[in-house]
Structure 1
Amino acid sequence: MMAGGLSVLRYAGANARVRGLYSHLLDEPTWRHLRLSQDPQVMLEALKATAYGGLIDVQRVGFPGAEDLERRLWGRAALNCRRVMTFVDGPPRQLFLVWWQHFELENLKALFRGLDQNMEPEQIRRLLIPLGGYSTLPWQALLNERSVRGLIDRLANTHYINPLRAAYPLYQRERSLFALEVAMDIRYYRDLARAIEALGGSDREQARRVIGTRLDMLNILWAFRYRLYHELSVEEIVNYTLWHTIRTDADLVREIALGAEPAYILQRVWGGRAFDAEDLADLRADDARMLPRLEMLLERYWWQLARRESSGYPFTLGALLGYVVLQEIEVLDLITLLEAKIMGWPPERTAEYLIRSEE
């Protein structure tokens, strides 16, 4: 549905500025050159000529340098999300703020993991995505905590505190961060769903289509992962997922927990034409490679959806969301590409793990 006059006025200025950010995404010739470059040195030299050039230190190639570059790449994606957020106000601005907070969520998980592994504060700090001065969490105080219980108590004034306290006894029994990370995920993504529903009219429709699809994807992936890798009970799988997203609910999750095949689930959720029949045929639950294939299939579907949003009618919230998604997927692909070249993978093997398809 085409946006009305008020929506056009609201997003015209924002779109003009986001188009400037769109121009910094990698074009197809540059992406092809990076993908086909023979080693990480050549790739990084080529990347220096792009909008990512300021992040590149070619002298630091190797796994330690690559890990540092990964954090800086994610930091750039987080910063660009904040930039888009400043272009809008009201409920759309709140949606971008909540979406940006998934970078904070990843940092919290890294902090819990580092603490659980008895890492020193400075070692943990090097794992965190740089978020500048935007984060409201007391990172220095969090880094100085020396116990998981103390870290949870430090989060007393955040929306994570109640689910973390509820999950802590299970952490104590099993000495696994699984329950704590699931608790944070569920809390965060429920907040994201509420931010979508707080929108009105075409904004809500577009946010459901772009960000709501992400919630659908995660709910399906979580349910299959809990069933196949963690061997949880049906009740546990339902409790460890989102009870309702745009296209999924507890009944669908229960079907997955009871043994439904992934191809059937995808066709039920998105219809018979969303995915190639050959790709669906490769999704057999008894195949150890099924879950990575399912995840890649859904990520590529999301990338294509974001591309359509970004190339459609420009004066919409969907166009802004499309940019944010494309930026994050580009960063993820760049990280995959760099790691593959460090490990000496040929382009054909690397392509299996890249989300962006060839044009």
Structure 2
Amino acid sequence: IAFDAVLLIINSLVNSRQLILLHPDFTISFRRKDSDKHLAYITPPTHHIPSLHIHSITSHYSYLVMYNHYLSGGGGESKANGGELSLYSPLKVIVFVALMCGMLVLMYFFYNILVYVIIAIFCFASASALFSCLDAVMDLIGCNSLSVSVRNRSFSVRSVLLAAVCITIAVIWGVYRNEDRWIWILQDLLGIAFCLNFMKTISLSNFKICVILLSLLLVYDVFFVFITPFFTKNGVSIMVQVALGPDASGEKLPVVMRIPRFSAWAQNLCGMQFSILGYGDIIIPGLLVAYCSRFDVWINSRKKIYFISCCIAYLLGMILTFAVMLLSGMGQPALLYLVPFTLITSVVLAGCRGEMKQFWAGTPYEVRAEKK
């Protein structure tokens, strides 16, 4: 029933387009035949298709309707992969980066209003992300869930307890978010969960998309850190102004990891000083690291060569970022160092192993949209 409902919705949305999903096990094609009908074709393999794969198809096309051509790249092999969204269109990546630029500029001019909107969104999103992470940990350690029925509705006791804990942590952070001495622990905890959940949800379908996204965001980072001071009245970059807030004692955006400088705290007991690392500096290279991990699975690499190499490259890039920051005495756009380290390492590794073509093309799933 769910699959038929999704087909019905897609048929109403796909006017003059033909959408095809190619998979090693099956092919699904949606095509407009005339002005009155939409036909759906499913070409199964000669062997039996597991029901788990059919469920995966349903979730894929549900996301297609919700996100307008974003399609899941997961194979339906696990609960975590069922909700995965795959970025496969360069145009969508460009639009995404353009929206980021627009949002940053809006935050610069309307900070005092939008900061509270971002705080509310962060509380909700981080609580949901923390729940997802803790639920996955419970599944990993084999913690069984007890179900309770109330008025013919079944509730998982484990899920209810986890939800209560996550919501409580998010609410505590929201109430005491300006307490510098200890609230940074909760902010970093929620931030780690947010970054992990984001990288689990969004995937890059091939290395070409990785190159486009990381390169554009590198330019974005450098421009808003180094170039914008020439256009602002106070000579401060838009990126730094938004990250730190226009008022040192006012509200700050919860989009950074805050690491206290304990040496400075010991010298000045009246307050704490922090080093900050933006979530984007974790998520953006992390999407490439996640792609490398999936590629290791696709090529059956037991040593996880791509994943480990990309992680080491990220670590070296981060060390260089902090070294330059300490030597120059000013904040640095971390992507300026992280992007070249991770991209070049991945290219060199794929070239040396003779897998560059496969690494560039990426996933064995292919999504194609054509006009009639």
Q: TM-score, normalised by structure 1?
A: 0.27
- Determine which structure has the larger helix proportion and give its number: 1
Q: Which has the larger radius of gyration?
A: 2
- Determine which structure has the larger strand proportion and give its number: 2
